[in-house]
Amino acid sequence: MMERLQGTGSKDEDEKVKDEDQEETVDEKIERLRMEIHYLFVQVREKLTNLPPITKPPVPAPLLELRRAIKEKDMERELLLEEQRASKVVEEYLQENPAILEKVDDCPICLEPIFDVDAAVTFYCCGKPTCGSCAEPLSAAGNDICPLCREEFPSDGESLSILRRKAAAGKAWAQCNLGRTFLHGSSGLEVDEQKAESLFRNAADQGYSQAQFLLGIIELDRNNTDHFEAAASQGHMSALGRLGIYYFIGLGVAKDDMKAVRLLTVSSELQTTDR
């Protein structure tokens, strides 16, 4: 202990203490992997040099192990570089579009932005949304009490009545969810696409991003990206991903591969943070 405090230990011990006290950064890890891969290639060259001139398969086992190690380390390094690239793309996108963080809903449980709206859950008792990560354990535990308003969860029959009542009162989240019920013909209702679209439009007019996204889905055959753009501007990452696909194939917008990759990267990365 005194040696560590006074710095009188060996060089190896000092390096070990340094490693324990300082966690390796991503850049340092990438550089370490690059050096390890280089060292493995040196070993491969040495072993190839020592082989008889006419030697062909089977390849010696030690050489196969070196090749396997190189492949694994190179893959790990490439993944780290891709994570860095994706993280930088997301950071730049949010800097260019700061209003997104102001418009997107925050989960009242974990307080993180809800970017993956498709996985989010809205409690009909109080109309508050939670991210998928927080909603999943609540569902698995079979809780009967809403963690937000402390009221009992309504039954299926009660949920439909609540949706109708809230939708009639102009609540965008209720209009959107009731529209989905008509769209899919669930909860005992018959499929009614016209009524569903009307409800989606009422909610979309209030700036409800999920309704804007669903309107975009309904109007796919019209090559209209306006609804997806409106939803994406509010942090709806599925809508942003759709725009990325459209830019990739040139549907309703000018084909732009670079923009497509950028939008798809942001969409994928931010939706992943919710899980």
> What pLDDT, on a 0 to 100 scale, did the predictor assign at position 30?
81
- Cβ–Cβ under 8 Å, residues 3 and 13: yes
Distance CA 242, CA 267 (A): 9
- Cβ–Cβ under 8 Å, residues 232 and 240: yes
Range in 16-20, 89-93, 178-182, 205-209 with the lowest mean pLDDT: 16-20
Distance CA 93, CA 250 (A): 21
Bridge partners, residue 106, by sequence: 113
Q: Categorize the per-residue pLDDT at 3 as very low, low, confident or very high, splitting at 50, 70 and 90.
A: very low
> What pLDDT, on a 0 to 100 scale, did the predictor assign at position 52?
62
- How many angstroms separate the first and last alpha carbons of the chain? 44
> What pLDDT, on a 0 to 100 scale, did the predictor assign at position 6?
41
pLDDT over 60 (residue 10): no
pLDDT tens-digit series, residues 120-156: 888 888 888 888 888 877 766 667 788 788 888 887 7
What is the CB neighbour count within 10 angstroms for residue 145? 12
> What pLDDT, on a 0 to 100 scale, did the predictor assign at position 1?
36
Average pLDDT, the chain: 83
Q: Categorize the per-residue pLDDT at 2 as very low, low, confident or very high, splitting at 50, 70 and 90.
A: very low
Distance CA 216, CA 151 (A): 34
Q: Output phi, psi for 81, to 5 deg.
A: -65, -40
Q: What is the DSSP letter of 268?
A: H
Q: Categorize the per-residue pLDDT at 56 as very low, low, confident or very high, splitting at 50, 70 and 90.
A: low
Distance CA 93, CA 87 (A): 10
Average pLDDT (26-31) is: 82
Tell me the Ramachandran region of residue 149: left when phi exceeds 0, alpha when psi lies from -120 to 50, beta otherwise: alpha
Q: Categorize the per-residue pLDDT at 200 as very low, low, confident or very high, splitting at 50, 70 and 90.
A: very high
Dihedral of alpha carbons 137, 111, 109, 177, sign: negative
pLDDT tens-digit series, residues 91-110: 999 999 999 988 988 998 88
pLDDT over 50 (residue 17): no
